[in-house]
Chain A
Amino acid sequence: MAAARTSRARPPTQRLVALLAALVLGFCGILTRLLLLQVKDAAAFETLARDQRVRDVPAPAPRGTIFDRNGQALAISVPAKEVFADPLLVKDAAGEAQTVAATLGLDQALVFKALTGSGRFVYIARDVDVSLAKALQAMNLPGIGFLDERRRSYPDGAIAPQVVGFAGVDGEGLAGLELAYQDLLAGRAGRQIIEEDPSGTVIPQGANVDQPPVPGDNLVLTIDRQIQFRAQEALAAAVRRNRAKSGTVIVMDPRTGEILAMVSYPWFDPNDFAAADPQYVRNRAVTDVYEPGSVNKVITAAAAIQEWAINLDERLTVPDSYQMYTKVFHDAHFHPTEKMTLGDIIAYSSNIGTSEVAGLLGRARFASYLYRFGLNRSTGSGFPGEAPGLLPRPNKWSGTSMGTIPIGQGVAVTPLQMANVYATIANGGVWTQPRFVLGTVGPDGKLVSAPPPQTHRVVSAETAQAVSEMLAYGVDVGTGTEAQIPGFWVAGKTGTARKVRADGTGYSDKYIASFIGFAPASRPELLVAAILDEPVTIFGGVAAAPLFQDVMRFSLSRLRIPPAPRLPIPAHALKPA
């Protein structure tokens, strides 16, 4: 009994030690785990926990609107949705693929492939209409998610598509002025950090941050949407009527260099730019060059008058053909040898007469005027990919160059360059930089005008006046009669240029017909350049002049430009009107 009392009184030391050891070990284990959780992996677990509660939602910046000169929207950004999938969370891929495809109008097989793919994020569709996305969202399909974005829309469809260009699904300008003014239009994206509970309700006083996006500035173009539309309609009709390969029209204000319309046919729909043929996406009025033909004669005439190389009433003997070194030059139509003034040569577009005038001028003086009128250099319009044209250096000219270049062969220009030559004459001899942008509108809603265009004088006002009289005479009685507009006096010049073979081995039997002119002739306010590539009726006066007339007539009416007095006919004209 005493032994039993003793055993109760003395605790079992070994067991206590064992228990203590177990407790110490246990605490050590807990401590280690705590250290791992709270120190070593603390950042990872914190991030994991944060990711469960906090969402970082990007807020895309609304891209600036592109307006025409009258405030009509040519390109706007509207809210849209991106639909994505997390394949790991998708439960019924086949069923969901069918639903998603039917709602969004997609290929079911492609959607199924996306839903069963690897990874945790795959796009199903972008630029989705918000109402469609909302309908899909209401179905609560597991693994299907939605993100906000902005869709670029061109409400007029194919109106000035090559000028305006287009922006891709990421809101990046990819062509045209959308590309040229990307930095200005894009704005700055914002973000929204939201802390939510498991049911998706925002936790007040949580880590919520709202950084609103900064919208892009708006761009106001010089384009007039109505004139642009009419120019496109007329051009498409002219190309069909003449069974031409393509065509280009430019409408501009020669006094300011503002481009009111510019298009090349065929064109494309910027709302579906992915389906467009790349060659029709280019703004060929600015990026492509062609040999201008007889429209180039205006430079020869202006240079000769400015340099006093010929008196206005001086009559040159002009045969039907003329041999220069190894090459025989002909006029477009047979005629007996005639006495022609410079006015007659321009009005009747005599190749031989023009070559004679260029000869009187001399190579160096003639070449200097080609440069002064802006050939062989970009116009500085700011349009991406603008071509400078091609003009051989005068010291590299061949023996026949003084026969070809004065009549617009052996030299290549962009349609805009050539239009600008005529704008210089219409503007009293002052070259003006063409431009597409009137200004920008910032967040305060005020228009900030674009810097004024660069200008420089090329020929005197008197020379420009004399050339204008010749051009008006040409429309009145010469090769450009098809360009006449009832009620208005028009000045202009026809061009019929042979095309160079694709392999560069001389000229083909295909032609480019053109007509460039301005009105009213004595007080020019509008200039139209009409160019048709490979028309059946090759002559500019037959194929392109009616197109010019159509576009000019509408534009004069649209801008309410009144008629102006007639210009006097040039001295000693062959056929006084």
Chain B
Amino acid sequence: MNGRAGGRPDRRRGRLRVASRPPGRSRRWPFILICALLVGPLVLGVVTLQALVSQSSFRMQQLVRQNATLQQSYGDLKLEVAELSSPSRIFDEARKLGMQIPLPGQVHPLSPEGSP
């Protein structure tokens, strides 16, 4: 074995010492902070927007259902009004109350020029 090589320290190698922290590492915090400040609200905004959209969508569904129900009620009421005002129903009700269409001699139209 070569004793020179094994006994002498290699001059090309510097003395070992404790490495100091790289100067750039301390500058990461502002970057992270800025990122957090930018991305955080953005994410929060997107999530909020999604929530609002979902909420609006559910509200819209609810309103559509409500609209359908109200239209149904409106249709039913319209039909009910038409049925209740039907001449045949009114005629039957009037007859039950003892009313009748006047006979020819029971009505006397008055005319200034004279009438038959």
Interface residues of chain A, those whose CB is within 8 Å of chain B, are: 72-73, 76-79, 130, 153, 155-157, 159, 202, 204-205, 225-226, 228-230, 233, 476, 484-489, 549, 553-554, 557, 562-566
Which residue of chain B has the shortest Cβ distance to A203 in the bound complex? B57
30 A-B residue pairs with Cβ-Cβ distance under 8 Å, sorted by A, are A73-B81, A76-B79, A78-B75, A78-B78, A78-B79, A79-B68, A79-B71, A153-B79, A155-B83, A202-B57, A202-B61, A204-B53, A204-B56, A204-B58, A205-B53, A226-B87, A229-B88, A229-B91, A230-B87, A487-B109, A487-B110, A487-B115, A488-B115, A488-B116, A553-B107, A562-B111, A563-B109, A565-B111, A565-B114, A566-B113
B114 touches A566 (CB 8 A): yes
Total residues of chain B contacting the partner, CB 8 A: 33
B35 within 8 A of A: no
A563 neighbours in B (Cβ, 8 Å): 109-111, 113, 115
Tell me, rounded to whole Å, the shortest Cβ–Cβ distance linking B107 to chain A: 7
B104 touches A486 (CB 8 A): yes
With A73-B82, A76-B78: A553-B104 Cβ-Cβ less than 8 Å: yes
B72 within 8 A of A: yes
B108 within 8 A of A: yes
A-B CB proximity, top 9 nearest = A487-B109, A204-B57, A155-B82, A229-B87, A563-B111, A78-B75, A565-B113, A73-B82, A204-B54
Which residue of chain B has the shortest Cβ distance to A73 in the bound complex? B82
Interface of chain B, helix or strand or loop or mixed?
Answer: helix
Q: Which of B71, B72, B82, B105 contacts A156 (CB 8 A)?
A: B82
B78 touches A73 (CB 8 A): yes
**A-B contact sample (7 more), CB < 8 A, given A72-B82, A76-B78:** A159-B86, A230-B87, A487-B111, A487-B115, A562-B109, A562-B111, A563-B109
Tell me, rounded to whole Å, the shortest Cβ–Cβ distance linking B57 to chain A: 3
Tell me, rounded to whole Å, the shortest Cβ–Cβ distance linking B48 to chain A: 14
A159 neighbours in B (Cβ, 8 Å): 86-88
- Rounded to whole angstroms, the CA-CA distance of A565 and B114 in the bound complex is 7
A476 neighbours in B (Cβ, 8 Å): 116
- Rounded to whole angstroms, the CA-CA distance of A327 and B57 in the bound complex is 87
B93 within 8 A of A: no
Interface residues of chain B, those whose CB is within 8 Å of chain A, are: 53-54, 56-58, 61, 68, 71-72, 75-76, 78-79, 81-83, 85-88, 91, 101, 104-105, 107-111, 113-116
- Rounded to whole angstroms, the CA-CA distance of A488 and B109 in the bound complex is 8
A485 neighbours in B (Cβ, 8 Å): 104
- Rounded to whole angstroms, the CA-CA distance of A370 and B73 in the bound complex is 55
A562 neighbours in B (Cβ, 8 Å): 109, 111
A156 touches B104 (CB 8 A): no
B115 neighbours in A (Cβ, 8 Å): 486-489, 563
With A159-B87, A489-B116: A76-B58 Cβ-Cβ less than 8 Å: no
B86 touches A156 (CB 8 A): yes
B78 touches A156 (CB 8 A): no
B116 touches A486 (CB 8 A): yes
- Rounded to whole angstroms, the CA-CA distance of A565 and B54 in the bound complex is 77
Tell me, rounded to whole Å, the shortest Cβ–Cβ distance linking B32 to chain A: 32
Please indicate which of the listed interface residues A130, A157, A204, A562 has the most CB atoms of chain B within 10 Å of its own CB.
Answer: A204
A72 neighbours in B (Cβ, 8 Å): 82, 85
B108 touches A486 (CB 8 A): yes
- Rounded to whole angstroms, the CA-CA distance of A76 and B108 in the bound complex is 39
Which residue of chain A has the shortest Cβ distance to B89 in the bound complex? A156
B76 touches A566 (CB 8 A): no
Which residue of chain B has the shortest Cβ distance to A156 in the bound complex? B86
A76 neighbours in B (Cβ, 8 Å): 75, 78-79, 82
A157 neighbours in B (Cβ, 8 Å): 86, 88
A228 neighbours in B (Cβ, 8 Å): 87
- Rounded to whole angstroms, the CA-CA distance of A563 and B112 in the bound complex is 9
B57 neighbours in A (Cβ, 8 Å): 202, 204-205
- Rounded to whole angstroms, the CA-CA distance of A79 and B67 in the bound complex is 12
With A72-B82, A76-B78: A487-B108 Cβ-Cβ less than 8 Å: yes
- Rounded to whole angstroms, the CA-CA distance of A225 and B108 in the bound complex is 25
A557 touches B107 (CB 8 A): yes
Tell me, rounded to whole Å, the shortest Cβ–Cβ distance linking A526 to chain B: 14
- Rounded to whole angstroms, the CA-CA distance of A549 and B107 in the bound complex is 14
Which residue of chain B has the shortest Cβ distance to A546 in the bound complex? B104
A487 touches B116 (CB 8 A): yes
- Rounded to whole angstroms, the CA-CA distance of A565 and B113 in the bound complex is 6
- Rounded to whole angstroms, the CA-CA distance of A554 and B101 in the bound complex is 9
- Rounded to whole angstroms, the CA-CA distance of A549 and B91 in the bound complex is 20
Which residue of chain B has the shortest Cβ distance to A194 in the bound complex? B61
Tell me, rounded to whole Å, the shortest Cβ–Cβ distance linking B46 to chain A: 12
With A76-B79, A78-B78, A487-B116: A130-B111 Cβ-Cβ less than 8 Å: no
B107 touches A486 (CB 8 A): yes
A79 touches B116 (CB 8 A): no
- Rounded to whole angstroms, the CA-CA distance of A157 and B92 in the bound complex is 14
A130 neighbours in B (Cβ, 8 Å): 72, 76
- Rounded to whole angstroms, the CA-CA distance of A566 and B109 in the bound complex is 14
Which residue of chain B has the shortest Cβ distance to A74 in the bound complex? B82
A77 neighbours in B (Cβ, 8 Å): 75
B75 neighbours in A (Cβ, 8 Å): 76-79
Tell me, rounded to whole Å, the shortest Cβ–Cβ distance linking B75 to chain A: 4
Tell me, rounded to whole Å, the shortest Cβ–Cβ distance linking B77 to chain A: 10
- Rounded to whole angstroms, the CA-CA distance of A564 and B113 in the bound complex is 7
A486 neighbours in B (Cβ, 8 Å): 104-105, 107-109, 115-116
